[in-house]
Structure 1
C-alpha cells in the first residue's frame, strides 16, 4: 500500500490524498483519490482508478506514488503511479466541454409506486417519466417539455418534479462532482380560486336522511324481495371553494354497496366501494364545490343475507382538501334496527275434515285395536323455504288430548318425517301410551256436556305437544312431519252436543326469533265433529234478541195505528156516546 499527499487536484483550493492498493483486484492494483475539505479530507473517495482498465497487463498498480510534479505544464499536479515493471502517468484535466449527460424527469415523484397514477403526464410519451440526453458546456441551455394534467383528486398540493442527472458514459474520463447534488426537486402549483391568500377555507355541512323503506322507528323487515336500504345525502358548502370534496361511508358487514342516484342538476358524483374494508368513497362536484353550492344525491345499499345482524350501521363523513371551519357538522352516524323475514311457509293437510258420531254404535270400554278407539285422523305439517336459508327452526304441534272432565279426545299412533336427518321429533311417551297395538286396554267414559263450547283446543281442553327440530334448511326446500291419530268415539258418543270443532295448533319458530322472524308462524289443524239427533240448546242471546225484537215490532204497530187515526176515531166516538148518555140522564122538574 502507498499513500501520497497531493496538491490541489480538483482545483477546489484544498490539498488531496492519493492512496495506492496494489494487491486489490487480484494483484492488478487500484488507486483511490480522496479530496480535501478545509482541515480534513472526505471519508468517501471521489475516484477509483483500476489498473486493469488502463492496461490489462499491469500488475501491482499503485505500489508507489508521486504527486508533486507537473509534467505537462498545465499548472495542475500530475500523478505518477508505479507498477510491476511499469510507471503510469495520470494527468488531471480542467473543465472542458461539451459534456454528454443524461437527465431524468419524474412527475409526482413522491408517489410510492410507479404503478400509481400521476396527476400529470409528459405530452411526448404520455408517461410520468421522461429521459433525455443533452450536451452541456459552460453556457445555459433550456429545453421545454409540455405536461398535461389529468383529472386528479388532489388540486391543493402542487405537482412535484424531480430532475436526476448523470453521465451518458460513466466510464468516460470526465466525472461529475461526486460531492455535489445530482438530483433536484421542483413543484408545479395549481391555481385556486380561494382569494388572494390562496388558502381555501371551506365550511361543509352534511345531512343524511333514511329512505322511505325506513319510515317508522320499528325494525326494518328484510326479505329476498325487500333488500334495499337507501339514504338521501346532502352536502352544502357555506364558505370558499372546497376542492376534492368527497363523502365517505363506512358500513356494517350485513350491507354491500348497490348504486347511487345522481343529482338532478347534473353535478358529477362518482362512487367506488371496497368490499374488503366496507368503505364507500364518493367524489362530489369535481374539482370543487363552490361557495353556497349544495349537492343532493342518493346512496343505496343491499342487505347481505349471509351476514345476519340486528342492526345496519352506516357512518357518513364528508371531507375535502380545503381547510374546514366547522368539522363538527361533517359526520352523521345512522343505525337501523333490522329483522329478517325467514320466508318460511307452514301449511297442513288432513285426511278428513268432518266426522259424524255414530250414535247407534256403543262406546267400547274394552279396546283391542286402533279401530276400537275411533276413526283415523291424520295430518301432515309441511315446512317450505323460499330464498332464505335457515340453519335452525323449531316446529311444535299442540294436540288436545283430554277434556276438562277427563275424557280422552285424541290417541296418537305415530309420528314420522320425510326429510332425512334434517328433521327430528321428540314424542316421548305420546305415541301409543296404552300399547293398544300390543294388548287390550280398558277405557272408561263419563257423560259430559259440550253445550256452549264451540271448539276443543288448548284453552278448553288439556294439550300435549310434539316438538320437532329442523336443521340446515336450504333454499326452496320442503320438510314434512306426518302425525297419525285416532278420535276417541266413546267420548263424543257419551257427550251432549250438536257440533263442535277439534283444533290442533301448529307453530314454527326460528332459533333467533328476535332476528329471524316468520310472518305467519301458526296454522290450525281442524276437524268438525257433529252428533245427529241431539237437541240443541237455545242460546240466551237468541232469547233476549227475540224478546227485544217482539217489543220493537209491537211499538212499530202501535205507532202506525196512531198515525192512521185509529186511536183518534175511537176516542171521538167515546166522547159522543158519553154526551148522549148525559142528556138522557138529565133530572125532570118537580111541579
Structure 2
C-alpha cells in the first residue's frame, strides 16, 4: 500500500428554501398603486458554512395572450446565516406597463450564490430538493383564501339586421352586424377571452380593438378577443362585429358563427361557455325572356310557286333575357326550338345564330331540349290546342307534324341586377307549292319558341312564374293575290275606252253639249245689250 494521501477540493452541500408572500397591507388590493412583497430564505446542511452570500431577484411579468412579458425586475445581495431565516422586503411601484390590473401580473423570486461564478469555492452546492424559486400573483384575486377563481361565464350572440329566423338574402349587399355578450355570474374571471369562429367566405369588415385573427384552418378563421380582466361578478362585456357577406355564393344554404369563452379560472358551468348563430340564406333570383321578329310579315304570289319552284325568305328571331331579383345567378341555359320540316317537306333551316351576355359571347349547340322545357312546352301545347284560328295555318313545335331543330345555349352567369343576354337566330324559310296546298292557301304563321332555365341556384318556381321563362316568336307569310295577265289588262283598257266613246256620242245626240252652247250664247247676248245701254246713257 502507498503511504501517500490525496486531498481533493470539495464544497459543502446545502438545502436552500425560498418563499414569497404578499405583505399584509393596503397594497394587497388589485388596484393599488404599488406592489409589496417579502422574500424569505433559509439554508441548512452537513458541514454547511455559518454564512452564505446570496442574490435575491424579483421579476414582475404581465400575462398577455397566455404569454409572459417581463415588465420590471430588482436584484439584492444578502447574507444568510445557518438555520436562520432572513427576509427581504420589496416595494415595486406600478408603472405604465402594469396598469389597472388589466392583465394578471406574476411575480417570481430566485435565489443564487452571491458570486458571479457559481463554481467559486465559497459557493456551496445546492441539494436537489432545494427550492430556489417561488412565484405567485402579484395582487389579491378576490377569489377567497385559496385564490382559486371559480367563474361562471355565459355567452350570447345575436344580430339586429337579419330577417326573421336569422335569414339573409344573397346578393342584398348588406353587412351583418353581430352583438356578442359575455357575462360572469360568479367569482372574477381573469384573462377572459372570446374565440369567434367565422367560416369562409364571410370576413370581418374591421377587426375590433383587443382582438386578433389567426391564420385560417379548415376554411374557418378564428378571431380571439381579450375581454376586460378581471371580468367581475354580474358584469357583462360586449363585442360588436360587422361581417362582409358579399362573397356568399347562391348555392350556400347556411353558415354557422360560433363563439367560445374561456378564462384563467375554473368554470362552474362549462355548458354555457359556447353559443352559435346559424344564418340561413334565401335566394331572390329569376329570369324573364322576351322576343321579337325582325320583319313580322312576308308575302308571296301564286305565280312564284309551282311544283319545281319555291320562294325563300330570310328573317331574324331575337330573344332577350332579363335578370329579376338581387341574387346572382351562376348558371343558366336557353333552349330554342326551330321548325325545320313539315311532314316530309323541308321548310326552314338555321343559317346563323349569335348569343351574347353583357357584351360577352356564349356558346350554343344542337341537342335535345331539357326535360323541364319539354314538360312546360307540353302544358303550353295543351292550353293552346283549344284555340283555333280559321285564317291561320300554324307551323310550330307544338304541332305533331312538325320536326324541330333544338338549340341549347349555355348562357352563363347573371351576376348583376342589370345583366342581360341576347340570342339572334337567322332563319332561311322556304315556301313551296305543296306547303301552300297543305295550308289550304291560309296565312302561314311560322313560330319558334324558347325556354330559359335557371340551373344554379336551384330555385323552386311555380307554373305561373314559369310563364316568364317561355316565349314564342312568329312570322307571318301570306298570299299577296292572283296574277292578272297583261293581255287581259290591255283588253280591259280598250273596252273601257270604247264604253267612254259610246257614252259621249249618246250625250251629243241627245243635245247635251248644244244646250250648254245655247245657254252660253244667251248669257253673252244679255251682257252685250247691257253694255250698249250704258254707252247710250253716257
User: Is the CA contact (8 Å cut-off) linking 2:197 and 2:222 kept in structure 1?
Assistant: yes
Confirm whether residue 226 of structure 1 aligns to residue 173 of structure 2: yes
User: Is the CA contact (8 Å cut-off) linking 1:414 and 1:483 kept in structure 2?
Assistant: yes
Q: How does 1:474-513 map to 2 (within 5 A)?
A: 482-487=424-429, 494=439, 502=447, 504-510=449-455, 512-513=456-457
| 2:139 aligned partner | 190
| 2:257 aligned partner | 314
1-structure distance, mates of 2:4, 2:63: 44
| 1:251 aligned partner | 198
| 2:60 aligned partner | 107
Structure 2: gaps (5+ residues) = 15-44, 370-386, 482-538
| 1:395 aligned partner | 333
| 1:327 aligned partner | 270
Question: Shift of the alpha carbon at 1:111?
Answer: 9.5
2-structure distance, mates of 1:110, 1:176: 34
Return closer, same or farther for 1:484/1:285 CA change in 2, 3 Å cut-off. same
Return closer, same or farther for 1:377/1:418 CA change in 2, 3 Å cut-off. closer
User: Is the CA contact (8 Å cut-off) linking 2:11 and 2:124 kept in structure 1?
Assistant: no
2-structure distance, mates of 1:458, 1:466: 13
TM-score if structure 2 supplies the norm length? 0.55
Confirm whether residue 450 of structure 1 aligns to residue 389 of structure 2: yes
2-structure distance, mates of 1:364, 1:349: 31
Question: Shift of the alpha carbon at 1:355?
Answer: 1.2
User: Is the CA contact (8 Å cut-off) linking 1:397 and 1:465 kept in structure 2?
Assistant: yes
Confirm whether residue 274 of structure 1 aligns to residue 214 of structure 2: yes
Structure 1: gaps (5+ residues) = 14-36, 39-75, 77-92, 123-129, 263-268, 431-447, 535-591
2-structure distance, mates of 1:4, 1:466: 113
TM-score if structure 1 supplies the norm length? 0.51
State the structure with bigger RCO (CA 8 A, min sep 6), 1 or 2. 2
Return closer, same or farther for 1:241/1:530 CA change in 2, 3 Å cut-off. farther
3-state SS in 1 of match to 2:125: coil
1-structure distance, mates of 2:65, 2:277: 36
Point out the structure with the larger helix share. Answer: 2
| 1:213 aligned partner | 162
Q: CA RMSD in A?
A: 5.9
Question: Aligned residue pairs: how many?
Answer: 409
- Cα deviation 1:372-418 (Å, max 9, x = unaligned): 3324124366899xx9998x745323225279999987531223567
Return closer, same or farther for 1:509/1:502 CA change in 2, 3 Å cut-off. same
Moved more, 325-334 or 138-147: 138-147
User: Is the CA contact (8 Å cut-off) linking 1:202 and 1:323 kept in structure 2?
Assistant: yes
User: Is the CA contact (8 Å cut-off) linking 2:331 and 2:457 kept in structure 1?
Assistant: no
User: Is the CA contact (8 Å cut-off) linking 1:404 and 1:460 kept in structure 2?
Assistant: no
Confirm whether residue 377 of structure 1 aligns to residue 316 of structure 2: yes
| 1:412 aligned partner | 350
2:71 aligned to which of 110, 113, 121 = 121
3-state SS in 1 of match to 2:126: coil
User: Is the CA contact (8 Å cut-off) linking 2:293 and 2:475 kept in structure 1?
Assistant: no
3-state SS in 2 of match to 1:288: coil
Moved more, 194-203 or 320-329: 194-203
Question: Shift of the alpha carbon at 1:508?
Answer: 4.8
| 1:28 aligned partner | none
1-structure distance, mates of 2:4, 2:282: 87
